[in-house]
A and B are shown apart, each in its own frame.
Chain A
Amino acid sequence: MRKLGLARLAALFALVLLAASLGLEHYLRVDRHGDVKRTIVSTWLNGQRRSRVVVKGKDPGPLGEVRGQRGFVAAEDVLDEGPVLSTNPIIFGASFVPGRDGVEAQYDDRVAYATVDDLLALQAYNHPLELGPIRLQLGVDPDVVLDALARELDTTRERLVEYGTFRRLALRHRHPPEPAPAVTVATLRAASIGAGAYLARAVRADGMYRYEVNGIDDHETDDYNWPRHCGATWYLAETANYTRDPVMLASVTRAARRLVDGAVGQCGEHRCVAVGDRADLGSSALGLLALVEIVEGGVMPELMPVVRDLAAFLRSQQRPDGEFKHFYDRSTNTPIDKQSLYYTGEAAFALARAERLTHDRRDLEAAKSALAYLVDYPFWYLGWHYFWGAEHWTCHALGALWEKAPNRKALSFCLEWQEAVRTTAIWDREANPEYDGATSAGPFVPPALVGTATRMEAAVSTLTAARLAGVPAKEIEALEAGIVKSLAFLMHFQLLPGPDYLMRAPRFMRGGIPNTPTDFHVRIDNPQHAGTALLHYLKVLEARQKPAP
C-alpha cells in the first residue's frame, strides 16, 4: 500500500511539474518568423535618438515625421510579443534575448519602447547581475532599462515598476542586415583590410594604440598591454604589406618605432621587449613576429639587427626539453623558469617565422623543439584528445613549420582541436540563427568574437598544413566548411559599418571587431585575431585562383 502510494505521489508530482513546465514555456514563447505586426521607426543623430514613430505593418509608409529631420532613419520590425513575468531584477533581466528582444512599457495610458537599437546604445545587453558572489549574464540590465523607460515616460522608476506593465517585443533589427555575407574573395578582402584600417587609425601620433575603445561612446580605457601592442602591430604590418596602403604603412612604422624605442631593452646580453625589471617571453615573441613582418615587407630594414637579437633572446630562454623559461629578471640577469599561457606557442611561431628572414638554423631548431614539446603528451593521457587550451599559436607554429619541419603529431593535435571547435560551436540557436559557427560563451549569452577569431586563425593555419600533408579530402572539406561558417559570423558582426548610427565616432570604429554582437568595445587584439583569420583565408583562396606554375 505504501509502495503504491509512493509511486502514485511520484508520478503525480512528475506530471504536475511537466505540465507546469510545458505551460510556462508555451506562455512565454514568441514567434520570430511571423508577419510584421508593426514597425518602430527611429531617427538617430550622433548616436542619440531624436524621434520615433510606430507604424502598423511591414511598410512604414510615409515617414514625414522623421524624414524632415537630419539623421539616420532606422526601422525595427515587431514580429511578436510576449509577457514579462515580473520586475524582479533576475526574472526581468533574464526575460529578453540579447540583440533580439526589446521592451514595451505602458504607464498611465502612455507607451514607451526600448528597442534593440536603444538597448545597444544604452549598452544594456552587457551588464552582469551580481547575486552575492555569483555573476549572472542576463538578457538585459534591469536597472538601465527601467531607468531609461521611466525617463521616457516622464516618471520615476519606482512608480513605473509599481504601476506600469511590461511586454517583451520580438524584434527584427535591420543592422547588420541578414543573412550574413557570403565568404568570397571580395568580402574577405574588404573585411580583412577593414580590420587593418581600424588598427591603422588606432595608432596615435606617439605610436601607441587606442588600446580599447567603446564603440558607443568613443570612451577609451586606461589599460595598456605590450604583448597586444606587438600582436596588433604584427597584423597591421601584414595588412600593410598586402595592401601597400600608405596610411597603414605609416601607422605600422609609428607603432614599430614606438615598440623599438620605448619597449626594447637589454635582457643580459640580448635585447628583449620589456618595460620594468621583469621581461616576459610573450612580448618578445610577438614583438619579433611584428618586426619580422615589417622587415620582410621592406618597410624598416634597419630593424633586422633587432630581429636577430630578439630571436637570440627567445632561444636563450629555451630549456633542453623544448619548453621556455617565460620570464626574465633584468635586475639580476636571471631567467625565471615559470610558465604562462600562450607564450611557448608564441615563441615557437615567432622563431619559425624569423627563420625565413634570418636563415639561422638555430631558430628553426628552437621552433621545432618548442612545437614538439607543446604536443608531447603521453599516449595514455586520454585528455589530450578531449581537452584543449587556447592553442592558436601552436597551430600557427605548425603551419609555419610544415614545409621545413613537418610535425604529424602536431597536425593531428590541431585537426582534433578543430573538430572539437566545430562540434561545440553554436548551431541552430532558435533566437539567434546568425550565431551559427561561433564559439559559444554559454547557451544564453552572445558569443565573443575574439574566441571565434583565435580558433579560426588556427583553423586556417591547420588547413594549410593539412593540404600539404595530404590529409583526406573529407576531413579538409569539413575543416574548410567550419572556417567558412565561422568567418561569415565574424564578418556579419564586424563594424563594417554595423549599426554605426548608434556610435559617437562611427568613422573611427569602422572595421573594428567588437567584443560580442551586442558589446561594441573594440580591443586591439580583436581585429588582430579576426583579421589574421580573414586575411590568411583570403590568401588561401587567392592562391587557389592563381594558375599553377
Chain B
Amino acid sequence: MGNLIPATVLGAGLVALPVRYWPTDMVVGGATLALAGASSLVIGRPAIARRALLIGARVLLGVGILLVTVALLSLAFLAGIHGDFGRGGVTLMLLVTLLVLPYAVVYPLVELWWLAARRPVPAAAAAPETSASPDGESPA
C-alpha cells in the first residue's frame, strides 16, 4: 500500500505540470504506472508480490536518481554561471529537492533494503538442485 503514496504524489505532480513535454511525461508517467501496478499486484496476486515490489522500487529509484542527478548537475551549472542565486532561488531549489528526495530516492531505497532483509529462504535449502528464485533473482 505504501507505493500508492509516491504514485499519487508523482501522478499529481505530473498532472499539475503546466505543459506536456513527452520525455518528462514518459519517465514520470512510467514510474507512476509501475508503482500503481506493483501495488495492484501485491493486492491481487500475493504470490508475485515481492517481485512486483522489487520492480516498482527499482523503477522509482531509477527515476529518482535520474531526477536528482539532472537537478543537481543543472544546479551546479547554474551556480557556476550565476553564483549565489540569492534567498529566493535557494529556497525554491531546496523545496524542489525536499519534494523529490523523500518520495523518489529515500522511499525506494528503504523499500529495497526492507525487501532484501526479508528474502525468502533460498530454494537451495529446500531443494538441492539449482533453480531460479521466486522473485527471478539468481541465488547468491
Contacts and interface: CB of A to CB of B under 8 A. Distances in A.
Interface of A: 1-3, 6-7, 10, 13, 17-18, 20-22, 24-29, 32, 82, 85, 91, 94-97, 101, 131-134, 139, 168, 424-431, 440, 443-444
Interface of B: 19-22, 65, 68-69, 72-73, 75-89, 92-93, 109, 112-113, 116-117, 119, 140
B85 A443 contact: yes
Contacts of A444: 78, 82, 85, 89
B57 to A, nearest CB: 11
Nearest to A7: B113
A17 B69 contact: yes
Nearest to A32: B83
Nearest to A427: B87
A24 B73 contact: yes
24 contacts: A2-B116, A2-B140, A6-B116, A20-B76, A25-B76, A25-B79, A28-B80, A82-B80, A95-B81, A97-B81, A131-B21, A132-B19, A132-B22, A424-B88, A426-B88, A429-B84, A429-B86, A429-B89, A430-B82, A430-B84, A443-B85, A443-B88, A443-B92, A444-B82
A428 B88 CA distance: 9
Contacts of A96: 81
A132 B24 CA distance: 12
A91 B73 CA distance: 12
Nearest to B105: A10
Contacts of B86: 426-430, 443
A434 to B, nearest CB: 12
Contacts of B78: 94, 444
Given A13-B65, A17-B69, A21-B72, A6 B113 contact: yes
A548 B44 CA distance: 83
Closest 9 pairs between A and B when the two form their complex, measured CB to CB: A28-B80, A443-B89, A430-B83, A21-B76, A429-B86, A430-B84, A133-B19, A24-B76, A25-B76
B53 to A, nearest CB: 15
Given A10-B109, A17-B68, A24-B80, A1 B140 contact: yes
B74 to A, nearest CB: 9
B86 to A, nearest CB: 4
Nearest to A101: B81
Nearest to A28: B80
Nearest to A139: B81
A132 B80 contact: no
Contact of B113 (A3, A27, A131, A428): A3
A28 B72 contact: no
Given A443-B86, A443-B89, 6 more contacts: A3-B116, A20-B76, A134-B21, A429-B89, A443-B88, A443-B92
B21, B83, B88 — most chain A CB neighbours (10 Å): B83
Contacts of B80: 24-29, 82
